[in-house]
Structure 1
Amino acid sequence: MKFSLVGDIGGTNARLALWRGQGLEAVQVLQTADFPEPVQAVRAYLQEQNLLVEDLEKVCLACAGPVQGDEFHFTNNHWRLSRSAFAQELDLKRLLLINDFAAMALGMTRLQQGEWIDVCKGEAELDRPRLVIGPGTGLGVASLVPKLDGGWIVLPGEGGHVSLPIGSSREAALWEVLHRHIGHVEAESVLCGKGLLRLYQAICELDRFTPHLQTPADVTTAALAGDTCAAGALGQFCVWLGRVAGDSALTLGARGGVYLAGGMLPRFADFLMTSGFLQGFHDKGQMTAYVEGIPVQLVTAKYPGLEGACVALELDMDT
């Protein structure tokens, strides 16, 4: 029996699943570091599911990075993909490549009750755009624009690479430390997994503490346990995420709402809710009132990127 496959591929993980027109089946998470190229990961997945490559008909892969042309280079891992070679090797009837946060945005159209937490309640203007933003291996940003017929246009972008906004003297001092080490400081420099560790190290340097944490997970765990420097880093992370999300909402006119997506934030949801995120989001000077009414939701759905890839496959769209 013929079947389709969807994938959500980031810098660290490749999430793969079957799609038969009814919903996701047999979701499996593979490590990108374990395979030289995407086609080997797909073959390993099919072998694990006892499925034949010959029965694979269509594939939609949501890929981290700008999608254009035949050759695709993943932004935060070593994989490369040629559309033509990939489709030929697997003898596919149809191959769709879409930006990973375009897929994440499409996944927001399939959210079910209980798959989000209200960070800021507000009245969504249904005819206005919606912003989707989330830190993970990188910082993803995309938007949904409503169509007159009730559907959606998804607009992928590279908003994670905008310059990091400075809103206080403390942030300016941290920016100077970061700039001394890495040069240009973009939002993704701190608003991702590795960025959280970098931010922790910058705070330790600025405040003259000796850093003792080695991974982003260490920083999160220590912050939740009350470690001063780690909590300072995670708190500043939330403030800066609020600033970037608020700036993006202003640029887009996202009065339809903001979705905080990705797998990183749910790990410290309670911390986020009591952090300075909303202060950073709302601190927009004369435009503060504009953003204060925008609802913000933390997405807790398990596989929204895969769901979005299913939507793209249904619509037969390349983005």
Structure 2
Amino acid sequence: MTIAALPWLVADIGGTNARFGWVDAPGAPVAHVRSLSVAEHAQPDDAAAAYLRELSAAMGQQWRAPRHAAFAVASPITGDRVAFTNSPWQFSRSALQASLGLDSLAVVNDFEALALALPQLTPAQLIAQGPLPTNDGPMAVVGPGTGLGVAGLIRHGGQWVAIPGEGGHATLAAGNDFEAAVIAAARRQFEHVSAERLLSGIGLPVLHGAVAQVLLGEAPEAPLSTEDIVARGLAGSDPVCRKTLDTFCALLGSFAGNVALTLGARSGVYIAGGIVPRLGERFFASAFRERFEAKGRYRDYLRAVPVAVVAETHVALAGAAAVIAGQRG
């Protein structure tokens, strides 16, 4: 297989941050990683151009313009036009390729890229209690970040093949009466309560308000930010925030177990995104694992499935590089 001419530009663009990286040699790790705020740039081409200007100035005479690029984006990919689910950004794939002067531009779902990066992860990039995923069969990744991403990974014809999807928008199910009341409270505000509606950065304030409604009979006058909910919950100073984190972990465990069953991910489930690593040991002490396995007759099936938390936020860039190497997207 002919390797696309180097260097390559890779990007992982979510609802909050646009992360860029650089690959300048065959098999080299992604370098010069930089995270830019989505809110501070009008569109992806502005952010990409800002990154390339900064990198060009830093590299001086070693600078060469990228020939190929792969963008992993938090959006379903259905055609030339890409509109982000949780940000105002949108772009034309062909226009962006022309704007950046590229020979090729692959655009894939961000969790497709993240899934492709899973086999490359080292133990140092993971947090687990118990065995690590074995990477020898079907795997899944679930990621509460700004939104909630889901993807699978299977081995086919000697290569890893990602299964992208929009599983985060599947309907969220309650595991007990308290969670049923919380979801009912959220449903007064939203017609459809998806997993992402409560299990994400945009969802934690909604979950907190619903938990407060059930516990106290009313939601807070001013919604708390995700950062405040996590900080107060971890500090233990706010009982509603504490219960919100407990409920988040339990619901996430139930949802991740559903994903593992649906994809047959017996080799492991990875938890990515920016929220869970911030919970530290609180996550492993939560009801996550109990609820992950609580699937009746399939409890033993899930008990054997290892789960690991992805500790780094830049791993999807390696998956984007794999897309260029394989010429997918």
> Fold-level match, TM-score > 0.5?
yes
Q: Residues 91-132 of structure 1, C-alpha deviation per residue, up to 9 Å, x if partnerless?
A: 211101011001111111210121111245378482x31011
The residue aligned with 1:130 is: 139
Of the three residues 256, 260, 271, the one matched with 1:260 is: 271
Aligned-pair distance for 1:46?
1.2
Cα distance between partner residues in 2 of 1:11 and 1:67: 15
Q: Where do 5+ consecutive residues of structure 1 fail to align?
A: none
Name the aligned partner's letter for residue 131 of structure 1: A
Matched residue of 1:243: which SS? helix
Residue 315 (structure 1) shift = 1.3
Aligned twin of 2:162: 154
Q: Which amino acid aligns with 1:96?
A: A
Cα displacement (A) at 1:219: 0.4
Match of 2:306 among 282, 295, 312: 295
Pairing 1:35–2:41 present: yes
1:143 matches 2:152: yes
- Corresponding residue of 1:198: 206
Q: Does 1:184 align with 2:192?
A: yes
Query: How far apart, in 2, do the equivalents of 1:300 and 1:125 lie?
Result: 17
Q: Tell me the distance in 1 between the aligned counterparts of 2:112 and 2:123.
A: 22
The residue matched to 1:184 in structure 2 has which SS? coil
Indicate the SS of the match to 2:15: coil
Residue 311 of structure 1 is matched in structure 2 by: 322
Tell me the percent identity: 37
CA contact (8 A) 2:273 2:313 kept: no
Q: Which runs of 5+ in 2 are unaligned?
A: none
Q: 2:107 aligns with which of 97, 114, 117?
A: 97
Residue of structure 1 aligned with 2:24, choices 15, 20, 26 = 20
Runs of 4+ deviating beyond 4 Å: 51-54, 122-125
The correspondence for 1:274, drawn from 285, 289, 298, is 285
Equivalent AA in structure 2 for residue 292 of structure 1: R
1:314 CA displacement:
1.4
Bigger shift: residues 8-17 or 88-97: 88-97
Following superposition, the deviation at residue 231 of structure 1 comes to 0.8
Secondary structure of 2:124's counterpart equals coil
Distance in 2 (CA, whole Å) between partners of 1:302 and 1:179 is 31
In 2, the alpha carbon distance for the partners of 1:125 and 1:110 equals: 9
What TM-score does the superposition give when structure 2 sets the normalisation length? 0.91
- Residue type of the partner of 1:47? R
The one-letter code of the counterpart of 1:190 is L
CA contact (8 A) 2:133 2:269 kept: no
Deviations 1:221-271 (A, max 9, x none): 001111211010001000000011001111111111101112221111211
In structure 1, distance between residues paired with 2:99 and 2:204: 39
- Cα offset for 1:178? 0.5
Aligned length: 316
Name the CA distance, whole Å, in 2 between partners of 1:191 and 1:162. 12
Q: Which moved more, 1:263-272 or 1:201-210?
A: 201-210
DSSP-derived class of the 1:95 partner: strand
Aligned to 2:120: 110
Specify which of 8, 12, 15 is matched with residue 4 of structure 1: 8
TM-score normalised by L of structure 1: 0.94
Q: Could you say what secondary structure the match of 2:96 adopts?
A: helix
CA distance in 2, matches of 1:23, 1:68: 29
The answer (yes or no) to whether the contact 2:210–2:219 under 8 Å persists in 1 is no
What is the RMSD computed on CA atoms of the aligned residues? Answer: 1.9
| Partner-residue secondary structure (3-state), 2:206 | helix
CA drift at 1:54 = 7.8
Q: Counterpart of 2:162 in 1: which secondary structure? A: strand
